[in-house]
Structure 1
Amino acid sequence: MSTAAYFDALYQQPDPFHYRTRWYEARKRALTLACLPHPRYATAWELGCSNGVLTAGLAARCDALLATDISADALADAARSTRAWPQVRLQQASHPQDWPDGTFDLIVVSEVGYYLPGPALQQMARQLRHSLAEDGLLLACHWRPPFDAACSTTTDVHRALSDHLVEAFTYQDADMLLQGWSRRLTSVAAWEGLR
């Protein structure tokens, strides 16, 4: 089954990953948003926006936010989740084939990378580095336990994303790995003149 067909089948049910109802998902969103080193971003891109629950949280901190997903049904749900945020632009896309122009101050890769086999994952990682602004942040969050639909492991995804970037932070537990990188050392305290 292709990746597109897999997600088309999943999104025949409402909120298939229970983003709106599970404490695990609410906690993961809160951790993701808390890890962002800047209070606001001019340009951001969320890959794998699903039903837009995290997108709405990101939108509150972004002047312009592009949110992409492979599933038209997911994007229809995301449109409802983000209707209060006019700075959000939703777009159906399959990555790494479909790629936006320009660079972004914040790129969030939500549960996407492990659906790509090795060569496509490496291509996406290279393209993400080129799309990251000089002082931008690349953030990735992935489920750690293996599952049948995964083409790559979470470790493989995060290793590919970390090439040629500086680690800004890492949080992991038995369930998830949340990690951020930038082109240079990121320090909130330094930005605020505390050190």
Structure 2
Amino acid sequence: MSTAAYFEQIYQHPDPFQYRDRWYEARKRALTLASLPRQRYRNGWELGCSNGVLTAELAARCDALLATDLSAAALAEASVSTQAHANVRLQQASHPDQWPQGRFDLIVVSEVGYYLSPQDVVTMATQLRGSLADDGLLLACHWVHPFAEARTSAAQVHRTFARGLEEAFCYQDADMLLQGWSAEPVSVARWEGLR
């Protein structure tokens, strides 16, 4: 089964990963949002937005937010989740083959990198760096345990994304890896003029 067919099949259920109900998912979203060093972003992009649960929370931190997903069914759910946010633009796309124009000061890749082949991860990492604004942040968050559909490990995805960028933050526990990178990381204290 192709990756596209797999996601269309699982999104016959509106919340196949239980983003709305699981504490693991709620905690991961809270950690993701808390790790962002800036309170606001001009132009954000969330790759693999799924049903839009995280998208809605990112929208509150972005002036404009592009949210892409491979699955039309997932995007239909995301449109419901984000209906209160006029700054969100949803788009169906298969990455890394289809790529948006523009540069982003926030790019979020959560729970999608390991579905790609190792070569596609390399291609995507190169394209992500090219789409990152000079002051931009690339954030990635992935489940660290092997599973049947994973084609690349979370660790390999993150090592590949990190090439050519400086680490801004890292959080890891027994289940997840959350990291951010930037060309020139700036701490929260520096953003706020405390140092």
Q: TM-score range by the shorter chain?
A: over 0.9
Q: Which amino acid aligns with 2:157?
A: V
Per-residue deviation, residues 127-162 of structure 1 (Å, max 9, x unmatched): 000000000100000000000000000011000100
Matched residue, 1:154: 154
TM-score (norm: length of structure 1)? 0.99
Matched residue, 1:61: 61
- C-alpha contact 2:82 2:88 (8 A) present in aligned 1: yes
SS of 1:76 mapped into structure 2: helix
Deviation (angstroms), 1:185: 2.6
Matched residue, 1:176: 176
SS of 1:102 mapped into structure 2: coil
SS of 2:136 mapped into structure 1: strand
Matched residue, 1:117: 117
SS of 2:95 mapped into structure 1: coil
Deviation (angstroms), 1:12: 1.1
Aligned residues: 195
Take 1:14 and 1:182, find their aligned partners in 2: how far apart are those partners? 34
SS of 1:58 mapped into structure 2: helix
SS of 1:77 mapped into structure 2: helix
Q: Which amino acid aligns with 2:190?
A: A
Deviation (angstroms), 1:37: 0.7
Take 2:2 and 2:156, find their aligned partners in 1: how far apart are those partners? 21
Take 2:105 and 2:191, find their aligned partners in 1: how far apart are those partners? 15
Take 2:171 and 2:180, find their aligned partners in 1: how far apart are those partners? 9
Take 1:189 and 1:162, find their aligned partners in 2: how far apart are those partners? 23
Q: Which amino acid aligns with 2:67?
A: A
SS of 1:27 mapped into structure 2: helix
SS of 1:193 mapped into structure 2: coil
Deviation (angstroms), 1:14: 2.2
Per-residue deviation, residues 14-63 of structure 1 (Å, max 9, x unmatched): 20000000000000000000011111111000001000000000000111
* Overall identity of the aligned pairs, in %: 70
Q: Structure 2: which 5+ residue stretches go unaligned?
A: none
- Whether 1:105 aligns to 2:101 is no
* RMSD value, Cα: 0.6
Deviation (angstroms), 1:193: 1.9
Take 2:83 and 2:185, find their aligned partners in 1: how far apart are those partners? 35
Take 1:45 and 1:108, find their aligned partners in 2: how far apart are those partners? 6
Instruction: Provide runs of 4+ in structure 1 moved above 4 Å.
Output: none
- C-alpha contact 2:14 2:51 (8 A) present in aligned 1: no
Take 1:156 and 1:35, find their aligned partners in 2: how far apart are those partners? 21
